[in-house]
Structure formats: structure tokens, C-alpha cells
Chain A
Amino acid sequence: MPTLSLMPTEFTVVRNEEKCIKCLACVRQCGFEAQQYDAEDDRLYAIDANCVNCQRCVSICPAGALTIYKNPPPLRPHAFWTENHLRNIAKQAETGGVLLTGMGNDQPFPAYFDRLLLNASQVTNPSIDPLREPMELRTYLGRRPEPGAKTRTPLVPIATPIMFSAMSYGSISHEAFASLARAAKEFDTMFNTGEGGLPGDLYEYADHAVVQVASGRFGVHADYLNAGRIVEIKIGQGAKPGIGGHLPGEKITAPVAATRMIPEGTDALSPAPHHDIYSIEDLKQLIFTLKEATRYQKPVSVKVSAVHNVAAIASGIARAGADIIAIDGFRGGTGAAPTMIRDHVGIPIELAIAAVDQRLRDEGIRNQVSLVAAGGFRSSADVVKAIALGADAVYIATAALIALGCHLCQKCYTGKCSWGIATQDPYRSRRLNPEIGAERLYNLLRGWSHEIKEMLGGMGINSIESLRGNRLHLRGVGLNEVELKLLGVKHAGEAM
């Protein structure tokens, strides 16, 4: 490591000495050793180079004495050679490595959710007040029986069309994982185990778990599959389509190792593809292997990243026997991904939902499968728009982590998370009390669900299934004709 960094630090920690009472909470809470105390001089100071702007110290400081500033760009402004590029190049010149990052794509690609507007009733039909009239959000996931069919696959009801997306134990702390599990059970929706298995002490929440089977097969065994409510085959994730996973050995603590069924301290490597799935017919075999293993009592979901050919892929998945198709858009988060992959691979979830829903309808098989969308749902309005575009339900993960304290510093891959989320260090993880975490997640679901009811009522609808695929309630603003066509919506100002 060269001793001299060519780049100035990204953030500056400013302490208001007038306010600071030297309680040292910031020093004790900083996960990145940016906050320091010199006992000899009784002096607090900051190592700015270590600061990742996770805001833990700012939030915890009882005196409100701390502010973190983003330093101005290091060089003269350049629209092409942006600060990001310069920093990345300097970093790589120092290390020779692949750039790593965490959470989802943070680049300024268009957010189609922000270019879609919702409808409301006026005069010709009444809007409905959710405080006075029943307003139904219950959603069933699973394969719909065809008329006259003799066999039925099980259906899974959720109280709101919002589930927690896959985050594995190992990538997040036991405390964060338990918070998700508890909140899902209390709200009667689902959480997703991710690819790292289900810790033994959380099996009481398994009836609200989507248990994932990924290319590494970590923690997969018969009891695990049969304990969960839905089994999900993870082919890809939105943050890193086409890329496997790598959980470094230092995060494989004894409990993580036991859950994943691998030796403690060894790296957990998920191959990029499933090595038993090189084609669609292989996927069908795995789907039915899992159905056999669970005696056809669990719907099987297949999760793929939103890539260019996602509509055809989804159709193939439906025909391969999956009961649920989960699609993860390019804004989806991750614990660790190569920056170039995260920021440059995949397509927006809005377009993916529209394309998949339309394709399945064109083929007359939309009603057979449930469509779950993931990757970048920031508010209940995003959820409503996704459902109007054609999704049955959505997965949220980044929003859930933000509810738990995450401030999107994007340093999950370091394992030093100051908020106790993306870490296996007991000193850090115990600051996330699952009691509080579950309450905050429950509140988020409650708030969003209520807002969804308000929006439905405004449209004159009292059941979520009347919104599903109802693109007439959407209008685009500032979208070109190709975008409008792909989304299947009219432009704002056009009549019904």
C-alpha cells in the first residue's frame, strides 16, 4: 500500500466544540475508526479519511455537535471525467483491484417511477374513504388453477403486497435478520432468507419465510425447505446480474457457519450460474426437484435479474413450472458487488414489469403465475405504480434497511457497518435490538399499506386486485413514445 493517497478525503467531520460535551459516544459508535479520542489531552478529533458518512455519530450525539460535509470535488469540474471516475482510477492505481461497493446502483439513470402519475375519481364515480369502507390489500401468491383443473398448488396469502427481499444471514447480522423475520410474521407478510439458510433459533418464523436456494446451496436441507412457506430459486439479483457471491471468511462466524453448513472462517463462494442449470430444461428439473422435496406443498418462485431479454426468460420460467416469478431491477441492492457491474448491468424494474406482464398476457399465461417485482421501491407510490404496471407484489430490501438505520454509505462489503446491519462483529451488531428493528419495519409496512389504501380509494377501487395491471390509472410525464409504448401507458393529458 502506498503511504500517499492522491485523492483528498471524500468527507470532513466537523465538531462544534461549543456544543461537544466529550461524552465520547461518537468515538465508541464509529464503525470505521474515524472518530478518535486522545485521553492525554482530553481531546476529540476525526480522521476524515476513514469517514464513510454513515451518520452514526451524527445520530447518536446527544449534543447535536457533529456535522459531516462532503468535500468539494478535488479537481476542477469536468462533465466527462467526473469525480467518481477520478476517485475510482486513483483507488485502482493504488490497489490494482476490482472496485467494490454495496447497496444499489447510485447513478443518475432515469427513474421511471418519477415519470408516472396516478389517477383519481372525480364526479363520474366516487372515491372511497379507507377509514370508512373496507379496503383490501390481501394478495395471494402462487399458481392459479386453470378452469377444470384437478390439482391445486398451494396459495400463500400476504396481508399487504409488500414483502422483504432476500438478504442472507451472513451478509446481514442475526439482529437485522431477526428484525425482518419478526416484522414479517407480525404483519402477516413474508421475509426472504436469502441464500444463507435460516438460523436455527428463527424457525418459529419459518411460516412467513421465503426460503432461498441459490447457486452455493448454503444452508439448504430438507427441513429448511419444508419449514418455509415458499421456496425460491435464486438465479440472479438486480445489483449484480450474472455475478455470483463472495462472503469473506471473516464474516463466517460460528453461527453463520452452522447455518450455512460450511466450516467456520472459510469463504462462502456462490458460483455465478447454478452448475446444474445451464438451460431452461435444467431449471424445470430443479423446480420439480424442490416440489418433490416439499411434496408439492410449497409454491416455487424463481428470481431473476431484470436483463434485456427478461420477458422471454420469464415466459420460459412460467412454462418450466414456477408458481411465482420474481424480477429484480437494476436498482436492487447488495452486500457487495463489483462497482462496474452494479452500475452498468441490467434494466429498470418499471420496464421489466411492463414487458414481462405484457408478454405473459400475450401468451395467455399471466394468470397462471404471480409476478413479484424487486429493486428500488422507495415509497408506497412506487409500489402502487409497480402493481398498476402488472406486478402482484413487491419485495423491498433497501427501504427495509433504511428503516433499520441504514444511511446508504454503501460500505456493506467492509463488514464494519456502524448501524449493526451488515456486520458479524458482535460489538456492532448488538446495537440493533430486533425488538426495535421489528417495530420500525412493522411501522413502515403499516404506513405504506395505509398510503396504498388511500391511493386506491382515490381511484375508486377497494381491492388491490383491481389495480393489478390496470395501466389506465397511470399516465406518463416527459416520456417519449417508445417509453410509453413499452410501459403500456398513455401520456398525461390524454383521456381514458
Chain B
Amino acid sequence: MQKVYARPAWCMNCHLCEVNCIIAHSRSRDLFRAYKRENLRGTARVIVEERLPLSVAVQCRHCDDPICVAGCISGAMVKDPATGIVYCQEDKCVGCWTCVAGCPYGAIRPGEKNGRPVPLKCDLCRETGEPACVAGCPNRALVWEERGAGA
């Protein structure tokens, strides 16, 4: 499947992927509303890990056999059989955070939305096409590619 891959050689640690992710997952899809009214600062589903001078954006790998899906006690976390995207059906989540604990990449963080628990994880912007982090990366350090199984 087509996934987001980081090219650490060109990651310049600007964290704009996080900003674009937040906007893409906001209600308003607007920078100022997302940050100033919806208060979404810190809710990015992609996180730039830093060990300067190196940095790299980390997000869900959409595993073939996802531990988060296997461990989900409410059946909220699913892998779409058609697209391969692993995502959370937010209305079913009960906030047990088994997925957070189970993810081998640390790509899921606990969060909340409208007072309800929601795991913060990459859904590859499944509703809009090209992931916002890729589209907005100023240095092409993130790419959205088909690299075959095991990649």
C-alpha cells in the first residue's frame, strides 16, 4: 500500500508536518481556528523525533498485522481491508489506551476530542487524498509512496 516514508537526510526539523497534520484533522481546516479556537496545539498525529543534528518524522506504519487492532477492547481500532489504513472509529473508543501501550513504534498517543477519549494516530488523511504532512513538507523529507510489502 501507499504509505508515508520519512527521508531523514532531508528532514530539517521545522515540524511543519505537525502543523499541517493538526490543520488537516481540525474541524475548520484553518490554521488560526485550529490553533486559536479549537485549541489543537500538541495534537499532531505525526511527531518529529529529534536527536540533533538528526531529526525524523514518525507516524503510524499501518502494519500488516497491527497490534493496536488486535488489542483493541472495544473494536474501535480497525484496519480497512480495502486500503490497508489503520484507523480508529472514534465513537466506539473507550479510552483504555491498550493501543498506545501496544504500538511498537510509539506512533499512537492518548488524546481527546469534545471531552471524549480519542487516540491520536495517523489515518493517512484517508478522507482527503495526499496526506497533509507530505503535501506541506517544504523539503520533501516526507514522501507518500508504494514500496511493496515489508517496507
Contacts and interface: CB of A to CB of B under 8 A. Distances in A.
Do A and B have CB atoms closer than 8 angstroms in the complex? yes
Most buried by B among A29, A427, A433: A433
Contacts of B141: 433
Contact of A60 (B16, B18, B20): B16
A251 to B, nearest CB: 15
Interface residues of A, number: 21
A21 B19 contact: yes
B27 interface: no
B89 interface: no
A62 interface: yes
B15 A21 contact: no
Contacts of B140: 433, 435-436
Nearest to A59: B138
B16 A25 contact: yes
Given A60-B138, A63-B31, A433-B140, A21 B12 contact: no
Interface in B1-59: 9-16, 18-20, 31-32, 35-36, 41, 52-53
A425 B52 CA distance: 11
Given A427-B52, A427-B53, A433-B140, A29 B14 contact: yes
B139 A63 contact: no
Most buried by B among A19, A21, A425: A21
A15 interface: no
Given A19-B32, A21-B31, A436-B140, A430 B14 contact: no
B100 to A, nearest CB: 24
B16 A23 contact: yes
Contacts of A63: 31-32
A62 B18 CA distance: 11
B76 to A, nearest CB: 30
Given A23-B19, A60-B16, A436-B140, A430 B41 contact: no
A255 to B, nearest CB: 14
Contacts of A22: 41
A431 interface: yes
Contact count band on B: 20 to 34
B139 A433 contact: yes
Contacts of B13: 28, 427
A433 B8 CA distance: 11
A72 interface: no
A348 to B, nearest CB: 37
Interface in A419-437: 420, 425-427, 430-433, 435-436
Contacts of A28: 13-15
B120 to A, nearest CB: 17
A430 B12 contact: yes
Nearest to A19: B32
A443 to B, nearest CB: 16
A153 to B, nearest CB: 41
A436 B13 CA distance: 17
A177 to B, nearest CB: 15
Interface of A: 19, 21-25, 28-29, 60, 62-63, 420, 425-427, 430-433, 435-436
14 contacts: A21-B35, A23-B18, A23-B19, A24-B15, A28-B15, A62-B16, A62-B19, A427-B52, A430-B10, A430-B11, A431-B12, A431-B14, A431-B139, A436-B139
Given A28-B14, A62-B31, A425-B53, 10 more contacts: A21-B35, A22-B41, A23-B19, A25-B15, A25-B19, A29-B12, A420-B12, A433-B140, A433-B141, A435-B140
Among all A-B residue pairs, the 3 with the closest Cβ atoms: A427-B53, A431-B12, A21-B35
